Each structure stands twice: as structure tokens, then as C-alpha cells.
Amino acid sequence: MDYIINDLSPERAVLVGVDTGEFDIESSFDELEELAETAGAKVVARFSQKRARPDTATYIGQGRLAELKSICEADDIELLIFDCELSPSLQRNIETRTDVRVIDRTILILDIFAAHAMSGEGKLQVEIAQLKYMLPRLGGKGTSLSRLGGGIGTRGPGETKLESDRRHIRRRIKSLEGELSNLKKRRELLRERRRKNGVFTVAIVGYTNAGKSTLMNALTSAGVLTMDKLFVTLDPTSRSLALPSGRNVMLVDTVGLIRRLPHHLVEAFLSTLEVAAAADVILNVCDASSDECVEHLRVTDELLDRLGCAQKPVISVLNKCDLVAGIADLPVIGKSVMISALTGKGLDKLLLQIDKELPPTRRQAELLFPYSMLGSVARLRRDGVIHTEEFREDGIYVRVTAEISLLDSFKHFFL
Ligand SMILES: Nc1nc2c(ncn2[C@@H]2O[C@H](COP(=O)(O)OP(=O)(O)OP(=O)(O)O)[C@@H](O)[C@H]2O)c(=O)[nH]1
Ligand SMILES: [Mg+2]
């Protein structure tokens, strides 16, 4: 696949942020730069200001904003990317004062999602999130729609839709949500059927670019697109995977996560993320070669908590260990397995660990069969392990370990 999602020459951009000490601004800028480049911009400078809190009218101080304006003029800057979610009025103020197009972290992520959505469901989800972001920004009569001639932050719903009134947009959101909920119902039916057939699900979740799809491909040759870019995968892909025990599970690849994921997106992608919530075992994949690895695992854990997965078995999968010099360099968190999805190292251990974490499919039971059911006893003897068998006055007593599904068919004879 060709990766040019912006056929204009890359927009020259400056990253702008306020350093309140709440998080490490440099690593946040690193990530923002990666996002900007994934979306097709060229980052030429970073501009930050230390202050207790952002300025209410212009985000960074007005003096610094004037400074930024002259940098933009001198350096042909076409785009300012703010490392936050700007309110509509802040965005307007800054654009007026600098005369440069202003976008924020949220629209940047939405834009990448819009470019990467493949399936009907992914597209629906992104469009809902974009419309919800646009809605409060359509404020006045003409807003700044005339600026939306192309470039980052303008892909997705076409201009005609954006020019329509809010009511029209709300109606559109409602109808998209209806379509989405139909798709969701269909997926729930599928999931239900799998559950009835006794197929367990294992979900691959984790920070964007951690190597989730590479792991999916290494285990199942699913042929999912992988790339050194953010948010390549938006749609969940499922494939059957055989474990060392002989059991088959359904392995699901999912959308990647990021710090401060725009809440409209979390909301829109909830149904996709619920795939993870419904899984029997969760693989939290991280890039062990990244300095931010522990933080990335934490972001994922937090989201899993929000989805109500706190009780589920989670395996921390420390990926890209081929890039890490020594084991000592790796953070050790709970149950963890070190792998390289690229070279295949550690995949055997990972499969064994998944087997261990799956709920049991066999259990022990005590049954009493009438003598007329010798055939059933023979069946249990063949497919299960009999621990005790007694010929009693009132029937044949057995204590047996067998598949739960088999035992269920004899539940009238449980003691
Ligand atoms: N060296 C090394 N690179 C890896 C490994 N696993 C994945 N990669 C690379 O990391 C990049 C991202 O891999 P993906 O599998 O696309 O990551 P992902 O988690 O699916 O990313 P998104 O779908 O964008 O969230 C690709 O360039 C992979 O080749 C690994 O074990 N070692
Ligand atoms: Mg992927």
C-alpha cells in the first residue's frame, strides 16, 4: 500500500505546548511529532512555554504568541499543532493573531483515523467522532470553513456536510449511530455463537505501534497490514489459533491506544474495544525497546479497567526484545513474556502462557447412573478420566474428570 495520504507537499508545522509540569513535555512532543508526520506534515520546530496553566484567551502567553507569529513568517510555517484539545474560541483567537492555520492533538488523531479507516464500521466510527468534534466548532455563520481547502484536519466528511446546519449534523450522527449499533448487534450474535461452541477469545491490545499486528501475523499468518506508523490498524481482525494443548482459540487484533486519546474517539471505538473487553485472555503488548514502555502498559491497563476487565487474565507481552540489549533493561510487570514478533523469539512461551490462563474446559463431577445407562458410563470412560467407579444398589456411581460440555449433557445424573 502506498502510504502517501496527503498528495500536497508536506505542510511545514510547528508544535506548540504549555509545560505545566503535569507530564513530560518532550516525550509528549515526540509523540505529537510522530502523529504529525504520520498525517503528512513536516515538523520544523517545537515551541513551548512554562506556565502554571494555559492562558485562557491565547493558550500560550500573548507575548510568546507574537514571537511565534514572527517565526511563522520568517520560516514559511503553514500549520501550528497544539499539544492539547483547543476550545473552538481558543482556536479562533490563535488563528486570528498568528494568521496561520491552527489544529490540535485531537483533530490530528481524528485525521489519521479518517485516513486509515478501511471497514464500514471503522469509517462510521471515525465520522461520528469527527462530526461530534465539529459540532461545537460550527458556532457562527461562516466560521472558518473557508480555510478547509485541504491538508491535515480536513479529511473525512465532505465540505457540503460541514456547511449544513447543526441540526443536519445531529441527524447524521444519529443515523450513523443507528448503523453502528446494527453492526454491533451482528457482532454480538457472532460472539454469542462462538461462546456456545466453546471457542475462547484472546485479544491483542496495546499502545499504537507496539507490534500488535506483527504478532497477529506471526501467530496466524493473517496478513494484517503492519507499518512503522501510528494507528495503522483500526478494525479488529480475528483468526483461529491452535495452542500447544491442542485447543483452538480466536485471536483478535485491535485498534492501538495512545495517551489522552480524544474522548469522542474512545466513545466511537468503544464497540471495537469491547471486543477486548469480551475476551477470555488479554495480551497487553508493548514495545520493550521504548523508554516509555511502562507508561504505555499503564495507559492500556487503565483503559482495560474502564472497560471492566480488571478481573480478566492479562499477560504483559514485552515485544521487540530483539532491540533490547539485556534482560535487565526490561521492566518486569506482573505476568510477562518477552518476545520478538519479528524474529519469532519467545512465541512458544507466549502460547504456553495463554494456554495456562484460559478458563478450564474440563472439570470433575460425581454422577449416579441407572443400570440402563451403561453406554453413558462407557462414554465417560472413553472421553474422560474415571477416578472412582462403584456398582451400588441404586445405580452406577462415578467420579470423573471430563469436558464440561460432555458433563453438561448428563446433568440430570449429577449428585
Ligand atoms: N525490531 C522489531 N520490530 C518490530 C517487532 N514487532 C513489530 N515491529 C515493527 O514495529 C512496527 C509496528 O508494527 P505493527 O505490527 O504495525 O504495530 P501495531 O501495534 O499493530 O500498530 P498500530 O496498528 O498502528 O496500532 C512495524 O514497523 C514492525 O515491523 C519486533 O519484535 N522487533
Ligand atoms: Mg496494527
Residue 316 C-alpha to ligand 1 middle, in angstroms?
16
Specify the ligand 1 atom closest to the Cα of 225. 16
- 23: Cβ contacts below 8 Å, ≥ 6 apart: 259
Residue 157 C-alpha to ligand 1 middle, in angstroms?
30
- Residue to mutate (ligand 1; options 209, 320, 330; most atoms within 8 A of CB): 209
Q: What are residue 391's DSSP bridge partners? A: 396
Residue 228 C-alpha to ligand 1 middle, in angstroms?
6
Residue 17 C-alpha to ligand 1 middle, in angstroms?
28
Ligand 1, atom 10: closest residue by C-alpha: 211
Q: Which domains does the chain have, with CATH numbers?
A: 1-196 (3.40.50.11060), 198-357 (3.40.50.300), 362-413 (3.30.70)
Query: Could you say which ligand is closest to the alpha carbon of residue 35?
Result: 1
Other residues' Cβ atoms within 10 Å of the Cβ of residue 206: 27
Ligand 1, atom 32: closest residue by C-alpha: 320
Specify the ligand 1 atom closest to the Cα of 253. 20
For residue 295, give the 3-state DSSP assignment. Answer: helix
* Packing angle, helices 120-134 and 270-277, rounded to 10: 130
Phi, psi of 367 (to 5 degrees): -135, 155
Query: Could you say which ligand is closest to the alpha carbon of residue 215?
Result: 1
Residue 286 C-alpha to ligand 2 middle, in angstroms?
12
Residue 6 C-alpha to ligand 1 middle, in angstroms?
23
| 126 within 8 A of 134, measured Cβ to Cβ | no
Cα radius of gyration rounded to whole Å, the chain: 27
Instruction: Please list every protein residue whose CB sits less than 6 Å from any atom of ligand 1.
Output: 208-214, 226-228, 230-233, 256, 319-320, 322-323, 340-342
Beta strands 11-19; 41-50: pairing state? parallel
- Which H or E element spans position 50? strand 41-50
Q: What is the rounded distance in angstroms from the CA atom of residue 119 to the CA atom of residue 254? A: 13
- Residue to mutate (ligand 1; options 226, 251, 330; most atoms within 8 A of CB): 226
CA angle 348, 352, 354 (to 5 degrees): 115
pLDDT of residue 145: 35
pLDDT of residue 257: 85
pLDDT tens, per residue, the chain with 415 residues? 344 444 557 889 999 999 998 888 999 999 999 999 988 899 999 999 999 999 999 999 999 999 999 999 999 999 999 999 898 899 989 999 999 999 999 989 888 888 888 778 888 888 998 888 888 877 433 333 333 445 566 555 555 555 566 788 899 999 999 998 888 888 788 777 777 667 889 999 999 999 999 999 999 988 888 888 888 888 778 899 999 888 889 999 988 888 887 777 787 777 677 778 889 999 999 999 988 888 888 888 888 888 888 888 999 999 999 998 765 555 556 688 999 999 999 999 999 999 999 888 778 899 999 999 999 999 999 988 899 999 999 999 999 988 888 899 999 999 8
Ligand 1, atom 3: closest residue by C-alpha: 320
Residue 341 C-alpha to ligand 2 middle, in angstroms?
12
pLDDT of residue 143: 36
| 317 within 8 A of 350, measured Cβ to Cβ | yes
Residue 3 C-alpha to ligand 2 middle, in angstroms?
15
Ligand 1, atom 27: closest residue by C-alpha: 228
Supply the DSSP symbol for 32. H
Phi, psi of 262 (to 5 degrees): -50, 135
Ligand 1, atom 6: closest residue by C-alpha: 211
pLDDT of residue 294: 86
Q: What is the rounded distance in angstroms from the CA atom of residue 307 to the CA atom of residue 59? A: 33
Phi, psi of 409 (to 5 degrees): -75, -10
Ligand 1, atom 17: closest residue by C-alpha: 211
pLDDT of residue 327: 58
Closest to 247 (Cα-Cα) out of 410, 404, 408: 404
- Which H or E element spans position 375? helix 374-383
Specify the ligand 1 atom closest to the Cα of 233. 23
H runs (alpha helix) in 99-199 = 105-116, 120-134, 159-163, 166-196
Residue 230 C-alpha to ligand 1 middle, in angstroms?
10
Edge-to-edge strand ranges of the sheet holding 79-82: 41-50, 11-19, 79-82, 101-104
Specify the ligand 1 atom closest to the Cα of 285. 19
